[in-house]
Amino acid sequence: MGAEEDVAMDDKAKRMRDLLSSFYSPDPNSTSSTPPLNSVSRFATLDTINTTSFDADQYMNLLVQKSNLEGLLHRHVEMAAEIKNLDTDLQMLVYENYNKFVSATDTIKRMKNNIVGMETNMEQLLEKIMSVQSKSDGVNTSLFEKREHIEKLHRTRNLLRKVQFIYDLPARLAKCIKSEAYADAVKYYTGAMPIFKAYGDSSFQDCKRASEEAIAVITKNLQGKVFSDSDSIQARAEAVMLLKQLNFPVDNLKVQLFEKLEQFLVDLHLESKEIPHASADQGNFPESATSAAHEASIREFAEAVRAYRAIFHDSEQQLSRLAQNVPKMHFEAAQQHIKKRLASSNLVAMLRIIWTDVLLMDEVLPEAGLRDFTMEAAHVAVKQYIGSRFSHLLLDISGAVVKVGNQMEGIEEEYSLEATLEASKKALVQGSMDVLLDFRQLLDENLELLSKLRDLIVDWVQEGFQDFFRKLNDHFLLLSGKKYSASQDLSFRERIQGDKILPGLVLLLAQLSVFVEQNAIPRITEEIASSFSGGGSRGYENGPAFIPAEICRTFRAAGEKYLQHYINMRTQKISVVLNKRFTTPNWVKHKEPREVHMFVDLLLQELDGIINEVKSILPEGLNRKHRRTDSNGSTTSSRSNPLRDDRMVRSNTQKARSQLLESHLAKLFKQKMEIFTKVEHTQESVITTIIKLCLKSLQEYVRLQTFNRSGFQQIQLDIHFLKTTLKDAADDEAAVDFLLDEVIVAAAERCLDPIPLEPPILDRLTQAKLAKTSEQGNTS
């Protein structure tokens, strides 16, 4: 004991020393590291007092060297205080450990006192246990033979019960069939199966045969219960479980039930095709009787799916594919109706029914993901509907415009250009407003399916109008013959090529393009800004979907192109008349003129048709009529014809030719007149431009011929009559007079003997032609 106490005291002292060292040491690693002896004296400092390698003499020498007397006294005071504190801490540590030791000693004493006497009690307990064991062995020995006999009798009794059960099994099964206790019947039969397998062909052959007949009836009844819609889902599921216990091939039932569900879905699909027609007649789509019947059918289908899932637990994937056919069949029917003219109210009603069906099916089969599937299908259907509405709008406008083209084939000959223009404007503006109203109803509907597509619908509407006006412009180009499409109907292409293009249609397209730019686009832009702002699903990097300025520029340029095309078509037709007039006769052998030539009547007739056509389509201009006195040039033509002077009366050919030379000199000193200006979308501008181009063509045809005196005088007479009749037709009378004078000058230049008719003769022949024309007009 003494040696153990000494070891304990040494350990305690060591722990105390380590504790004090760790408390006062600034560097924990310094306690474990001891520097070499040769480095102590070299690198010794005053801080080494806290290390294990502390040398008192060296420390005192270093302290005396580095400190003065006052420093030494101060260090003495500090060290005395530290020593006192260390003594106090050491004393406290000793007291604390002493109390713990005393407490442990007391505890050991109490345990020692409590254990005294326990050994005697344990010995007494052991003796009693041995006595009980010996008596138990005696009882077991005396009862062993009787126990063996009882167990043998018990086994015999159980065997007799089983035999009796086998004989009573057919009667039990009959009672179960009568009471429809099929679960008990299956339990009885499966319990008897091991005995039937072992002795069914010998001892219990009759019982086995009767039991199998009863089980066949039970199996048939259970199959009927599985296919019965009147039984509960739990009863049908229990029937399948019982059939499984009877080793019946349940997979065949599974296939038959699934085929029944598929047929149910086919019937439901046929009903869904009739829903839009019913809604059109009954007005209120969701509350119609057809819709109520459909809702009842879809609920019945959902319950059938629920039952199938409860019966066959591994059928989720198969049912999911079947359930996705519910919204799929609805959207297939919807797409067929969208291809026709379908109102937005009917589309919303169809989407509401689809969403209701999806919610019902989602409760039964959430694993199918019908919500996401329906959202994707609705995304496609709504986008298709918006595109379809724009396509029908384009067809309406095209139908109104091509009524002009139908006049070529004798269809609706009484249909005027003015009525066609108004119908086309109405089809464009009113049709666009109706389309926007339909799209607005899609946004206003409180339907979750449409609410999630709101931003996309806004973008689709804006993109749709941008694409619609692009297609409208392309269609106008096709109608005007300026562009051909590969998919265009061959007969239509042949009809609009060349001269078969109706000039009035081109003029109508020009004015309709101006209407699109100035009226339609601003109104549509205002409606889009008020009702279809927002969107943003395109992303800012793609820019805005609807760009009105771009559309306006396109139709402004198209209007100018169509107007110029109309002018070219009309002047080309008149050029044909002029070409025939100047290439047919022999002007060198022309006879003396007796009256105005009939080609003038043809020319004026063509111009009258053009004037009537232009006035029925284009508006009047705001500028006043440009008379000769309003011209910025001289009151006479820049190439004025001196042959009209009184000196032209002279019959001397040499004198006439000298006067012609004077006219050439005079035109070099006259102010040049601007003949051709920019064509505007007004009656006066178009009519004047066509007349100018016709007269310019007339001048060019004259320059290609050579005339004798009579031919020159015929040209002079025709031009003089045109001056009289065209003065009120053209807006720029000065330019027209200038061009007419140019024709006479060109004829004089190409004449072998340019002696003009005298003014009285010209006036007499002109008045005679006017009187004849007036008489023919009154007669007709």
CB 415 within 8 A of CB 402: no
Give the pLDDT band (50/70/90) at residue 9.
Answer: low
Amino acid at position 171, single letter: A
Query: 497 CB contacts (<8 Å, ≥6 apart)?
Result: 481
pLDDT at 216: 82
Give the pLDDT band (50/70/90) at residue 658.
Answer: low
Contacts of residues 117-124 at CB distance under 8 Å and 24 or more positions apart, as own/partner, are none
Q: What are phi and psi of 344, to 5 degrees?
A: -65, -30
Q: What are phi and psi of 390, to 5 degrees?
A: -70, -35
List the structure tokens of 540: 């800012």
Give the pLDDT band (50/70/90) at residue 120.
Answer: confident
- Among 208-222, 416-430, 640-654, 675-689, the minimum mean pLDDT is found in 640-654
- In this model, does residue 646 exceed pLDDT 50? no
Give the pLDDT band (50/70/90) at residue 205.
Answer: confident
pLDDT at 15: 63
Instruction: Look at the block and give the residue holding tokens 């005995």.
Output: 195
pLDDT at 671: 41
List the structure tokens of 673: 């007149």
- In this model, does residue 246 exceed pLDDT 80? no
Average pLDDT score over the chain:
76
CB 285 within 8 A of CB 291: yes
- In this model, does residue 239 exceed pLDDT 80? no
Q: pTM of the entire structure?
A: 0.62
Give the pLDDT band (50/70/90) at residue 44.
Answer: low
pLDDT at 338: 84
Share of the chain above pLDDT 90, in %: 7
Q: What is the pLDDT of residues 295-332, one digit of tens each?
A: 777 787 777 777 777 777 777 777 888 888 788 887 88
pLDDT at 42: 44
Q: What is the pLDDT of residues 498-543, one digit of tens each?
A: 446 788 888 888 899 999 999 999 999 898 888 887 765 655 556 6
Q: What is the pLDDT of residues 617-629, one digit of tens each?
A: 888 877 545 444 4
- In this model, does residue 555 exceed pLDDT 70? yes
Higher pLDDT, 588 or 51: 588
Q: What is the pLDDT of residues 19-31, one digit of tens each?
A: 666 555 544 444 4
pLDDT at 644: 39
Spell out a b/e string for 510-539, using b for 16 or more CB atoms within 10 Å of the CB, else e. Answer: bbbbbbbbeebbeebbebbeeebeebeebe
| Complete DSSP assignment for 222-287 | HHHHHH-SSS-HHHHHHHHHHHHHTT--HHHHHHHHHHHHHHHHHHHHHHHHHHHHHHHHHS-STT
Q: What is the pLDDT of residues 707-731, one digit of tens each?
A: 999 999 999 999 988 888 887 777 7
